[in-house]
Structure 1
Amino acid sequence: MSPTDASAEAGTTARTTDVGTCSAPGSADRPTDLDAGPGRSGRDPEWGTDSEDTLELRLPDEFLALIADETSDSNEELSDGHGTAEPDSVARPRDDLLDRIADWGPVTTSVGVFQLCPVDGEGDLPLISRWMNDPAVAAFWGLSGSRNMAEDHVLAQLAGDGRSVPCLGALDGTPMSYWEIYRADLDPLARHYPARPHDTGLHLLIGAATDRARGLGSALLRAVADLTLDKRPACARVIAEPDIRNTPSVSAFLSAGFRFSAEVDLPDKRAALMVRDRSLRDLL
């Protein structure tokens, strides 16, 4: 996963669920803003007085199932007398950890009809790579330069177990943004905040500079956060972690119905932990 915050509202990019730009952890195998890190840095962040952000110690069922699957696979490899993994042709289908994003369908927003479309193999990669090389986006995502950097970042998610799904966002039928919808409770980010089962994270970048700083970021963040809550009944919270210095991005999240929960030290940045609660969605 790769860290970065871009603010769509201000023409800057936000990498961890941000507005007109991005906010994102990439795949679980690549380090990124939310990705693998040693844990919190020296001081503990202040979690504030919100009683909803209490530590949840129970491991998610999906996480336990993944551990069980790995253990089962290891035992099968040892018992077959060869110690080799199953060939791809007989590999077990992976579980869908995000409730089939491809089936979520379009949603009508204040700025048009919007739909999340999971990245389709290599056909979408050149467009994503071009967006990643926009200086405003590159400043936060860190995936500019060689086309392989952006492509490897996306392909690592496609090859993963489904805990992070890269998507193109189409507005009125035109691809105009890149999203990563991920299981925050199964992501290394969960080491840095009181995660709860089925917490779902968002990362966003808006591709064209002409689509930034005109309210699209806030409108789409609200729409996608609410779509996530509608399509994932087990999810009670949508999470984002823009860079605390990215004031326009944090402001856009607030405008999209997220609340500021805490400042969190991540491996590559100090982030503002933003939360959209199912219980508060009609109030914010």
Structure 2
Amino acid sequence: MTSTDASAEDTLDLHLPAELVASFGDAGHDPAGAGTALARADLLDHVGHWGPAGTSEGAFHLVPVDVGRDLPLVARWMNDPAVAAYWELTGPQSVTEEHVRAQLAGDGRSVPCLGMLDGVPMSYWEVYRADLDPLARYCPVRPHDTGVHVLIGEETHRGRGIGTVLIRTVADLILAGRPACTRVLAEPDVRNRPSVAAFLGAGFRSAGEVDLPDKRAALMIRERAARESR
């Protein structure tokens, strides 16, 4: 990593063992088995209940992915050359399915969502617990830091500033929906200049570059204080 967050003195490199992550589920476990679903929802405070939110582009809503309904669309987006260059999930639908199902079958630390604009699916998002993610091995994180991955699926929505509007909206939704979260993080590929510019335009600041296993990333941070001071 070439540089780190300037506030690193009050952060920690947090990689939680499986036993500790499992304790989230133990607190909500019940004999009927509902505890697993509760734990999955609680790690990210019910992402599907955060919207809709009004934007200058229309009503926006994050809707958790339903594999049976949404997989063909997400797989098509992943095979768009502009997307494939950074997501590296090209190929048959099964490639995307494996990626999405791994999150849906996990403990809820990452939730794949469709971004719906006026009821039309037009983007794909992954909202994840950065403090429970491998990202925490490579840069300083704080408890409850929440990360986002995003792709704009339809070419007609690219290059018009819509990504900036929606990134700001999703960051606002995260900070409103997760009271314990003080920062929203993102780590776009440094080569993806439009994405980096969109995060900067959405109120994120650059905190340097990070060498991750699959890319050199621009570490972007949106502070809760920045949102509340607007």
- Of Structure 1 and Structure 2, which has the larger fraction of its residues in helix? 2
What is residue 122 of structure 2 aligned with on the other side? Answer: 176
Are 2:15 and 2:131, in contact at CA under 8 Å, matched by a contact in 1? yes
Give deviations 1:124-160, integer Å, cap 9, x for gaps.
1111101111111111111111110001100111101
What is residue 225 of structure 2 aligned with on the other side? Answer: 279
**Aligned with 1:191 (options 109, 123, 137):** 137
* Secondary structure in structure 1 of the residue aligned to 2:54: strand
How far apart, in 1, do the equivalents of 2:10 and 2:198 lie? 27
* Alignment CA distance shift 1:193-1:112 (3 Å): same
Q: In structure 1, what residue type is equivalent to 2:188?
A: P
Q: In structure 1, what residue type is equivalent to 2:11?
A: E
Q: Are 1:54 and 2:9 matched, yes or no?
A: yes
Q: TM-score, normalised by structure 1?
A: 0.72
Shift of 1:45: 2.3
What is residue 80 of structure 1 aligned with on the other side? Answer: none
What is residue 66 of structure 1 aligned with on the other side? Answer: 21
Are 2:14 and 2:137, in contact at CA under 8 Å, matched by a contact in 1? no
Give deviations 1:98-131, integer Å, cap 9, x for gaps.
0001111200012111000001232111111011
Q: TM-score, normalised by structure 2?
A: 0.89
Q: In structure 2, what residue type is equivalent to 1:66?
A: V
Q: Which has the larger radius of gyration?
A: 1
Shift of 1:90: 4.8
How far apart, in 2, do the equivalents of 1:132 and 1:187 lie? 22
Q: In structure 2, what residue type is equivalent to 1:260?
A: S
What is residue 164 of structure 2 aligned with on the other side? Answer: 218
Q: Are 1:108 and 2:76 matched, yes or no?
A: no
Q: In structure 2, what residue type is equivalent to 1:246?
A: N
What is residue 237 of structure 1 aligned with on the other side? Answer: 183
Q: Are 1:255 and 2:201 matched, yes or no?
A: yes
Seq. identity, % = 59
Which runs of 5 or more structure 2 residues have no equivalent in the other structure?
A: 27-31
Are 2:124 and 2:150, in contact at CA under 8 Å, matched by a contact in 1? yes
Of structures 1 and 2, the one scoring higher in RCO (CA 8 A, sep 6+) is 1
Q: In structure 2, what residue type is equivalent to 1:273?
A: L
Mapping for residues 35-54 of structure 1, pairs under 5 Å: 44-47=1-4, 50=6, 52-54=7-9
* Secondary structure in structure 1 of the residue aligned to 2:67: coil
Which runs of 5 or more structure 1 residues have no equivalent in the other structure?
A: 1-43, 73-88
Are 2:64 and 2:112, in contact at CA under 8 Å, matched by a contact in 1? yes
RMSD: 2.4
Give deviations 1:192-227, integer Å, cap 9, x for gaps.
110100000001111111110001100000000011
